[in-house]
Amino acid sequence: MCGIVGYIGKDQAAPIILDGLSKLEYRGYDSAGIAVFDGEHICTQKAAGRLAVLEHMTRGGESMKGFSGVGHTRWATHGAPSDLNAHPHTNKKGSIVVVHNGIIENYMALKKKLEKRGYEFTSETDTEVLAHLLDYYYKGNPLEAITKVLHRVEGSYALGILFDDCPDQLFAARKDSPLIVGKSEEGCFIASDVPAILKYTRTVFYLDNQEVAVLRKDNIEFFTVDEEPIEKQAVTIEWDADSAEKAGYEFFMLKEIYEEPKTVTDTISPRIKDGEIRIEELKFTDEELKNIQRIHIVACGSAYHTGVTAKYVIEGLVRIPVEVEVASEFRYRNPIMDPEDLVIVISQSGETADTLEAVRESHKRGLKVLGIVNVVGSSIAREADSVMYTWAGPEISVATTKAYSAPLVALYLLAMKLGRVRGMIDDALFARLLEDIQALPDQIEMLLGQKEKLQHFANRYVAAKEVFFIGRGIDYAIALEGALKLKEISYIHSEAYAAGELKHGTISLIEDGTLVVALATQPELFPKTVSNIVEVKSRGAFVMAVAERGRKEIEKVADYVVYIPYTNSYFANSLAIIPLQLFAYYIAVGRGYDVDHPRNLAKSVTVE
């Protein structure tokens, strides 16, 4: 959540910072602010609402002259969205400026101590405590003041800090909230995420927990929280800068749906060599893979839904028991885990707070962790014992699409690898699976060609008040993601149910005209799902079905049918999700909503 951008260098800072913040709008925010050192003192502007308000106030940054500064887009946690609560926050004199992502858990205790020492607070935020605490400890050495503050705060933070009597320096620090540092010939940068600075540099450093960076226009120094200097290796970002732009699409979400064939190809192709699955970054020996007794998949949101699918795939193909857990539940209970168990965590950003804590909890118990992430160098990528990258490139829209499809196929590959190593998949079955998984990108491309039909159908249900998604087995996993996509961008109440549970209460909600989306891609469960469709139809439902090509009999019971190409039933999710993503997209567009920035949501959930 929230966005930080900072710059110090040869160019005017404000336009660069505002441009960077615009690339972070997908993270979700309710106010924005900027602070720039103008040569004499630090000037600050902030405003509630969209970034466009701040851009207008500063004439695109032209009215704020200076070569160093920080900017922020805030997501309210402490205090309502307002000009006063917006970042940056300052000490009383305005000589120290702070922007902050995260939550300071002991801010009330710190605030009371500062008030006793005469400090006055003007906002409702936890961040203002940091500004006054820095003022209290600052005796001419900014690094010393910062490290003293960091020793005294509890919680999570990514910080950008300016001191007006150190105009040639910009400071950054982090703990449990993402922050990167970048360097170019023109200057140095801090940012919450890569897209903010991709236009200016591809050379970045990832700050680890409780590290501090001191940036000057031509160099960067790194320190521990105890002020000990450390060396860090730069990472070169391989993303194409154009991939973070809309490229003519009305919304990033639609662009990213259309990128799914390439995303799936990029995730699959490098790992299929000489007719075998070769996951070269997998740091587990075949013997270790053979000894796995149970797999725990831990994730949040859409990533969790890929895990639900993986449970069916891995248990079916490999015969290893799999438990799938929501990360926020996993970390606060006492799970029963054995030393031979494997934990798989899934996160697009690699920074999801609850999932990252699941990694740490697993390590405390002595378990190996495999991370499936998209962002190279992210916290989960660094802390997991092994990592599979999905190489989906930047995903800007809050509603995930290509970053759902990529880990899905990565999990298929992992299941196939496990099945081969453990002797559960023979040559004939493996050859069929290999053929089917390699066909997925072209099949997704074909489904994208049906967008006009789905748009026409979606237009009929723009005014829907609730939609139910039903399915059995893997179809239930698909239903979970389909319902989430619709609710998060259209604000229509939508829920997914295991179709066999209809009689146990859910069917009481079905009335004339209720839209039910029925997933029927699993051949062995097809007759059962058809009977569930008949059940809801008899109560007045209108049924949209998604079924495998050739299952014409479903047209006798469903009102509208989307057919997907033939694939192995274990891979059906990769195809069936495409029409559901498009359906949700066109419903939301038809209702006039900002598809890329759904209300109350953020791309990276980096706080609890």
DSSP category for residue 139: S
603 tagged catalytic: yes
d(CA 465, CA 365): 46
Put the strands of the sheet holding 342-347 in their side by side order.
Answer: 322-326, 295-299, 342-347, 368-373, 386-389
Run of H or E residues at 116: helix 107-116
DSSP category for residue 333: S
Task: Please identify which of the residues 111, 311, 451, 603 carries the catalytic annotation.
Answer: 603
d(CA 92, CA 95): 8
3-state DSSP call for residue 326? Answer: strand
Residue 88, preceding peptide bond in cis (omega within 30° of 0): yes
Q: What is the dihedral of CA 324, 330, 334, 339, to 10 degrees?
A: 60
Task: Please identify which of the residues 2, 166, 188, 300 carries the catalytic annotation.
Answer: 2
Q: CB–CB of 204/181 below 8 Å?
A: yes
- Tokens representing 352 are 């999801």
Gap between the terminal Cα atoms of the chain? 11
364 tagged catalytic: no
Q: At what angle do helices 301-318 and 402-421 cross, to 10 degrees?
A: 20
Scored b (16 or more CB within 10 A) or e, 224-239 reads ebeeeeeeeeebebeb
Contacting residues for 504 by C-beta, under 8 A, at least 6 apart: none
Cα three-residue angle 346-350-354, rounded to 5 degrees: 70
CA-based nearest residue to 411, from 366, 364, 477:
477
Dihedral angle sign, alpha carbons of residues 504, 531, 324, 352? negative
DSSP category for residue 401: S
Q: CB–CB of 437/298 below 8 Å?
A: no
d(CA 207, CA 146): 15
Q: CB–CB of 85/30 below 8 Å?
A: no
Q: CB–CB of 32/72 below 8 Å?
A: yes
DSSP output for 77-104: SSS-SSTTTSSPEE-TTS-EEEEEES-B
Cα three-residue angle 157-398-468, rounded to 5 degrees: 125
Q: CB–CB of 388/281 below 8 Å?
A: yes
Q: Which residues participate in catalysis according to the annotation?
A: 2, 603
